Amino acid sequence: MKSPNNSGLHKFAVFTACWTLFLLVAGALVTSNDAGLAVPDWPLSYGSLMPPMVGGIFYEHGHRMVATAAGIFTIILAVWISRRETRAWMRKLGWIALAAVVAQGILGGVTVKFFLPPWVSVAHAALAQAFFCTLVAIAVFTSRWWQSELKVVPYSARPPVRDRAVWAAIAIFTQLLLGAAYRHHAFGILPHLIGAVIVPFFVLSAASNTRDRAFEAAAGLVRCGTMLKHVLYVQLALGGAALWSRMATQNAPQPMPVMIFFTVAHTAVGALTLALAVLLVLVSFRVLGPVRPGEVVATQANMAGLEGGAL
């Protein structure tokens, strides 16, 4: 059953997703400025709700403030969804998002209490990405576009857009984990560099498949593929810049602004790349439908005609 369109709920879901991206940036600023233990206690900061915002405290406590706001927004979103949505799975997704942000807060506290254990910090970063993607999905599911009657484009095994979109999302998520493991000193940068060579294969494979002429009627699918490809190029450039800035400033007595900028930008665009891959997965499942035997013949005949005309 479809829920009546609620533009207010959709706009708030988009806002919460954007705020979560801001939260990811705030977290990256903490790591890049080596401010993870600038506030040694939790949940309070030096025993108060508002310590002096100086030095690393600005980044660490600022991150906590942004995270608290994200938690409040997610509570509002989950309650709003539970009261307005008729789709049972959407109500469950709203509560899943709330559970994720609570777990994220607990992991953040554990990282402080146990002095930044690498794999807990990596789990904290991984859950942050998963939480962000969940909110992106909620924003898509509450949109007028998703709930409208769309023309379903016949889909067969060739080209395998859905499968390649899923694999691209998995590859990007894995690469983000490798990057987080490097930033939190779980292991070196080599796995992340290897991933930087492998991941574009999955992403470009998925994006290029959306350009097939069989999907000309699925404009949203083509746009998602195009955006994903372009954001990937930006991410690769930022990755190179972030690596160069770290190498160039490795002997500096403190984190340098150039390194901080490129590292934070690389982290933020990485999250956007994953979000676009998830969006491509969702759109591919929404606009591509199963092909009946008669439709297969018709589709193949139409494609043959297009190819003949092109020749």
Q: What is the DSSP code string of 74-108? A: HHHHHHHHHHH---HHHHHHHHHHHHHHHHHHHHH
| Half-sphere exposure for 183 (CA within 13 Å, toward CB) | 32
Question: How many other C-beta atoms lie within 10 A of the C-beta of residue 119?
Answer: 10
Residue 298 corresponds to which tokens in the numbers above? Answer: 């018709």
Q: Return the pLDDT at 295.
A: 47
Query: Domains of the chain: which residue ranges?
Result: 1-149, 150-311
Name the packing angle between helices 56-84 and 7-32 (round to 10°): 160
> What residue has token string 């959709």?
10
Read off the DSSP letter of residue 1. -
Q: Return the pLDDT at 288.
A: 78
Name the packing angle between helices 7-32 and 257-287 (round to 10°): 150
- Say if strands 153-155 and 288-290 run parallel, antiparallel, or are unpaired: parallel
The tens place of each residue's pLDDT in the chain, 311 residues long, gives: 455 568 899 999 999 999 999 999 999 999 999 988 899 888 888 888 899 899 899 999 999 999 999 999 999 999 999 999 999 999 999 999 999 999 999 999 999 888 889 999 999 999 999 999 999 999 999 999 898 887 777 666 555 788 899 999 999 999 999 999 999 989 999 999 999 999 999 999 998 877 665 565 566 788 898 999 999 999 999 999 999 999 999 888 899 999 999 999 999 999 999 999 999 999 988 887 765 555 444 444 443 443 344 33
Q: Tens of pLDDT along 27-53?
A: 999 999 998 889 988 888 888 889 989
Q: Return the pLDDT at 160.
A: 79
Residue 266 corresponds to which tokens in the numbers above? Answer: 């690389």
The rounded Cα 187 to chain-centroid distance in angstroms is 23
pTM of the model: 0.87
